[in-house]
Structure 1
Amino acid sequence: MSVRLDQLPNGVRVVTEHMPGLESAALGVWVMAGGRHETPSQNGIAHFLEHMAFKGTKKRSALEIAEAIEDVGGYINAYTSREVTAYYVRVLKDDVALGLDVISDIVLNPVFDAGEIETERGVILQEIGQALDTPDDVVFDWLQEAAFPDQPIGRTILGPAERVQSFGRDDLSGFVDQHYGPDQLILSAAGAVDHDEVLRLAEAAFGHLKSRVTPVADIARWHSGARVEVNDTLEQVHFTLGFEAPSYRDDGFYAAQLYSSALGGGMSSRLFQEVREKRGLCYSIFSQLGAYDDTGMMTLYAGTSGNDIAALSALCIDELKRAASDMSERELDRARTQMKAGLLMGLESPSARAERMARLVGIWGHVPSLSETIAKIEAVTLGDLTAFGESLTRAPMAMAVYGPASKAESLEALLERRAA
């Protein structure tokens, strides 16, 4: 398998990987702009724009966009994150040109019809309402806000309902003008694709775009903050802690990933064994690492009863401190094996490969080989894990709690316990 990367004269990057034996391909456009590139008055517009891309272009109606891909048995979708908006398809190899034509059309030529804006506004308001009705989703948004208050990276991707109510055509086209410049676009394709053909199609679709300067996102500033919402109608308390962690670009990124896995990444992890298996204080508990361009967050989540929340939160802090001092080589080896297996299993899919390539080009400007990535995983030592674990005992810590949480410990109390 070979990865090839080219750049059009205007800055659009084109990356492909041919996967022998496949009859299908995944391809899409990753725009290096998301929620953290919004101003306060724009909060939620990147996501709104993603929805509107499917609501009609200069040459296709909303139905025709869907039919163009589904008539050939394909699949089309999109997502918005804090740093990226992605539009992608999965099609058979003979329909790669069609797939790229549809994706380039919805990215470059949305019409933002007034009637469709109103229809989709209602859809997004329903999506916001659904999210607010899902405690183990909304609590993560609150954690993000507690860690990054009054910053774009701390705001929700969906945006508040009052903002969504106000967006119009000029707001949408203005965000496109600001952030959809050719230097922000990465076309990525994997599977049954030919690089030269994809490059030719990309030149035809995107080569006319004029280069322009795009705004840079504000640097993230960590804060130790908390949000506790008491809701006695819920059965469980949804408890989260967040800790400052390395960015994608940081040398300590892989150590942080391995540490998070050993601490709470599976059934054999410390948190699962101590909090659930031995104490029975929860059904679900895990830790995970999220990373951005300039910072990261290790997140710990658990759901428990209102009567057990104080004991559970204290135990999580105790386990965090204990792991910083006595993580073992066996735990490191297990986490390393899990991480490598997860990476390799995930990349059996052309969709996963296309996404990986786009994200790596966005971060590094090239696609490191799998062997390079695995070498970095292999290079992590127990000392590296210990150093990251110790950093968590003094790093900024944020907390969000939702549910029958009247007995929950305060952030100040947990910070004191961590420092003791």
Structure 2
Amino acid sequence: MSAGPKIPPDLAATIVDPLAYGAWQPLLDAYATLRREAPIALAEIPGYRPFWVVTRHADILKISKDNTTFLNNPATVVLAPIMAEMFVAHLMNGSPHLVKSLVQMDAPEHPKYRRLTQDWFMPANLKTIEANIRTIAKASVDKMLAMGGECDFARDVASMYPLHVVMELLGVPESDEPLMLKLTQELFGGQDPDLNRTRAVQMSAEEATKIMAQTVADFNAYFEAMAQDRRANPRQDLATIIATGMIDGAPIPDYESAGYYTIVATAGHDTTSASTAGAMWALAQDPEQFAKVKADRTLLPGLIEEAIRWTTPVQHFMRTVAADTEIGGVSMKAGDWLMLCYISGNYDESVFPEPERFDATRSPNRHISFGSGAHQCLGLHLARLEMKILFEELLDRLDSVELAGEPKRSQSTFVGGPKTLPLRFKAA
């Protein structure tokens, strides 16, 4: 590992603590200190391999665009303790990945797999399903209004609406959507006692990884059966594209096929759910901003981008240095491990004035929530369209919204967002 500036132990402990992500403000404060005093520095934390922590927007963007020097595949792309890394390597016969999806691939493999489904997520194709998405959005708002003036927006609306959209695209029957939601929450919320598989408050790294492996096994079993069905009975859905896809003239191997299904099924809805709940959270605590957006729908695209920035559902990714390099005046060696802190980049004062303030009129809004470069989020156009349609329907039919209790974020260092959002509302 390269030598360089080191992060103070208290700040290093904060950025790996799920409780800090749930509390949010301690995490924002820690990142603000790092951006100011040690924007690229080494974290040496008991139980973890040393890793660089990258907190400035410009540095994160530069690394994200350089997919030759900074790789996804050689090591886990999600921060994990040494014991968890060792357990996965043992379980997966040396691979660092429980799941191998687009996220865990580098060129030349990555672009080949990405091209299989890319067209499905482009604006031209999304126009063909826009009416169906609006039907789903209307039904979601109907359900909310039928609750009599109060709901948990995160649970009752934000989690279910994008789930239904992406499951229809994928070809998962509506009756299986609760299972997909449960498994997704277990996968991304493995550190949260309200979301993980056993509801345990404390687990060792090995215990948590074992439980996550069980969730992955459930996903694999479900999608293996779906792939077999689609090969025998092809349909016009994403499941068929993956099941019958060819890479270099051969069918997609089972490991990669299972990972493809899982990333579409999980990231395809959970991150949009988080941003949707984040937008409503902001509007519920700012009646003036709610009134402005309701009166002027040209502000809606800005509201969506600001919600995606302010919430930052994908909170970090790890990268591995392929060749000796220098970033931000810090030298790194081949094999070094680094953490791209997207929350910090999205709250960088040099790019976003008053970053903790939610501002639907913020312009420009160069957030990095979707990543950049070859690994930019495949579903970004779908996410924006889903949010736009839902908030058009919500703003048409709501007269006011306010918090009816204390919202809570998930206790997760990887993918997170509001897990409860109690709302009181009046119909228009």
- Structure 1 length-normalised TM: 0.26
Q: Which has the larger radius of gyration?
A: 1
Which structure: greater strand fraction? 1
Which structure: greater helix fraction? 2
- Structure 2 length-normalised TM: 0.26
